[in-house]
Amino acid sequence: MMVRKIFLGTLLCFLFAGNGFGQVLDDDMERPGDKVQAARVAYITRWLNLTPQESERFWPLHNEYEGEMEKIRRKYQPAKRPEDMTDAESERLIISRFDMEQELIGLKRDYYQKFKAAIPPRKIVQFTLAEKEFRKELLRKMRENAPQKQGNLRPGANRRRN
């Protein structure tokens, strides 16, 4: 009984300490994604040669758009991993993905009108290219900075097998 109380007390201390450390990290430190997002905004702003006024109108709108896209994607997130699905569940997932794509297309159409009010259509078209170039540059830098690993680098090599 005494061992159990000591174990529970220790566990509670770790849980509360973990929460405290998490709050310190959240409040005092940037999340890794924040740095990438800031670099992305700077890169695309330069690529598109956005004026300060265009940036002021475009980026809040774009952030709103990305949030809406994420909501749609989450709504259609499957409850199970594809490899754990039956054929019927897999078929429902495929149909659901078609529905998701339709919803995303509708969102893109709606936001195109809003983006057009913020920046010229030419810059909207260039945005996609700028985003693609940023991803390429980011991947290149990640590869340069990544330690070289030995072993099997085949896609799916580390995947869990049943």
Number of domains in the chain: 2
- Name the helix (H) or strand (E) containing 99: helix 87-118
Q: Are residues 18 and 90 in the same domain?
A: no
Q: Are residues 42 and 119 in the same domain?
A: yes
Distances (CA, A) of 74 to 60, 92, 127: 21, 16, 24
Q: What average pLDDT does this structure show over 140-159?
A: 69
Q: Place 160 in a pLDDT band, splitting at 50, 70 and 90.
A: low
pLDDT digits 0-9 by tens, 78-129: 888 988 989 999 999 999 999 999 999 999 999 999 999 999 999 999 999 9
Region of residue 156 (phi > 0: left; psi between -120 and 50: alpha; otherwise: beta):
left
The whole-angstrom separation of Cα 84 and Cα 80 is 6
Q: Are residues 40 and 113 in the same domain?
A: yes
Domain extent for 13: 1-30
Q: Are residues 35 and 111 in the same domain?
A: yes
156 found inside a domain:
no
Say if pTM beats, i.e. exceeds, 0.85: no
7 found inside a domain:
yes
Q: Are residues 38 and 25 in the same domain?
A: no
